[in-house]
A = this chain, B = another copy of it.
Amino acid sequence: MSARKDAGPEKGARPGRRRGSAGTRPLILEAARELFAERGFDGTSLRAVARTAGVDPAMVHHFFAGKEALFVEAMEFPVDPARLVPQLLEGPREEIGERVVRTILGLWEDAEMRSRVLAILRSVTAGEQGAAMLREFMTAALLDPVVERLGVPPERVAMAAAQMLGMVMMRFVLEVEPVVRATEEELVELLAPTFQRYLG
């Protein structure tokens, strides 16, 4: 245990276990960033984050809905799967292909979002650690819930994710001309049947 004991809980300069003071949230986020980077997503528990931050575990649960939500905020992850997944899955199954294309394209209109995605891709290609962290997070927060909700084999969901990842890289990172030039309607026409086949 590394909880600090050198100050009172509420007002000291270096308080011990904090109780929801304004500084608690950033402390938790800082500890989370440190642990996710060191141990990956799977290897990090909310309890360990609390310990590293020197706060009560209940505080972590108070501020964050779960490990996924903590990861999204701590790593400034551009998409919150907890909001994305229901958006992808709600609605008629026979329209899921089109819905996936439109939802994902909608996400990229924001320039800040694009720059954060690029930062993630950079960390992924720069070394093993970034790749492991993203893989574990994507699997737990995106692939597994979609597999469970749709009852589709994981490799089909993964191929849908692969099609989307490749399209995003070609449109926003590589900026390959025919993909940049394509309108949303053209991309829906091209891609919706692919997603419908994988996920429908």
- Does any Cβ of B come within 8 Å of A90's Cβ? no
Contacts of A153 in B (CB 8 A): 178
Interface segment, A12-20, A44-52, A103-111, A120-128? A120-128
A163: CB under 8 A from chain B? yes
- A contacts with B: majority SS: helix
Copies per complex? Answer: 2
Interface size on A, residues (CB 8 A): 44
B138, A174: Cβ atoms under 8 Å?
yes
CB distance from A55 to the nearest CB of B (A): 32
Complex Cα distance A156/B178, Å? 9
Q: Known contacts being A124-B174, A162-B179, A174-B124, is A193 close to B197, with CB within 8 Å? A: yes
Tell me which of A70-78, A81-89, A165-173 binds B.
A165-173
In the assembled complex, 6 residue pairs joining A and B whose CB atoms fall closer than 8 Å, in A order, are A121-B125, A122-B126, A138-B174, A158-B176, A163-B194, A194-B197
